[in-house]
Amino acid sequence: MTMNDQPIKTRRTLLGALRGSFLTGLVVVLPVGLTLWLTWSAIGWLDAWILPLIPAAYQPEELVHRFFGPDTTFPLRGVGVAVFLVFTTLIGWLARGLIGRSLMRQAELLVERVPVVRSVYGGLKQITETVFGQKERSFDRTCLVEFPRAGTWAVGLVASKAKGEIATKLPTQEEMIAVFVGLTPLTSGMLIYVPAKDVIFLEMRPDEAAKLIVSGGLVYPQSRDGD
């Protein structure tokens, strides 16, 4: 190596170090930045959706001017979120009571009489009940299943045992389990029915399995065995 090659090697080493530092910075900054941006955007979206529903006399800015003077101003972002949380909690409290349950049944009977609305409402209700764990329909276990062919394995979320028409029409007398297999990088998946004896149950939580699937196998949960 000549004397002229030394500065070139030094520059390459410096550029490599800067590149590594930049990529490390991205790993640190991007998750935090995206989380803050998504949170801020969601708050703004809820405000834009909910505030127009509040009567003009009770708008946050109107209340501030009424109690603190017309020249008083301060950021009010997030008021819509607070209203949404209070309103949703109040509706949930009422729906859990006897009168609330009766009103909900009457409202659902009314909705079920409208063809298109009935289908949309039924699907959305099932999704929300599954996501928020109502009626014991949420994913509570994870597993490994041979998919899409023997010898290859996929991480799945255990839904439930096969029931109803599915259980009676399946051409087997074995116990079958409904497993949701996620797809990467698509935020979707496939529902398959697998013999219970062929399912390998895992210790990882459903949210950890979802992260593993969405990341394409890059984000592994901490082993329960300490490995």
DSSP notation for 5-17: HHHHHHHHHHHHH
Q: What is the mean pLDDT of residues 206-222?
A: 85
CA distances from 99 to 113, 125, 168, 207 (A): 22, 20, 38, 36
Strand 200-202, strand 188-195: pairing: unpaired
Q: What is the mean pLDDT of residues 116-124?
A: 79
Q: What is the mean pLDDT of residues 108-116?
A: 80
pLDDT higher than threshold 90 for residue 200: yes
Dihedral sign computed on CA atoms, order 159, 161, 165, 169: positive
**What pLDDT was estimated at residue 49?**
85
**What pLDDT was estimated at residue 197?**
92
CA distances from 200 to 126, 141, 143, 145, 191 (A): 27, 11, 5, 7, 17
Confidence of residue 144 (pLDDT cuts 50, 70, 90): very high
**What pLDDT was estimated at residue 131?**
62
- Convert the pLDDT of each residue in 13-72 to its tens digit: 777 778 888 888 888 888 888 888 888 888 888 888 888 888 877 777 787 777 777 777
What's the rounded Cα separation, in Å, for the pair 72 and 68?
6
- In percent, the amount of the chain with pLDDT more than 70 equals 85
Q: Which residue has the higher pLDDT, 25 or 179?
A: 179
The lowest-confidence range among 63-67, 92-96, 129-133, 152-156 is: 129-133
pTM (2 decimals)? 0.46
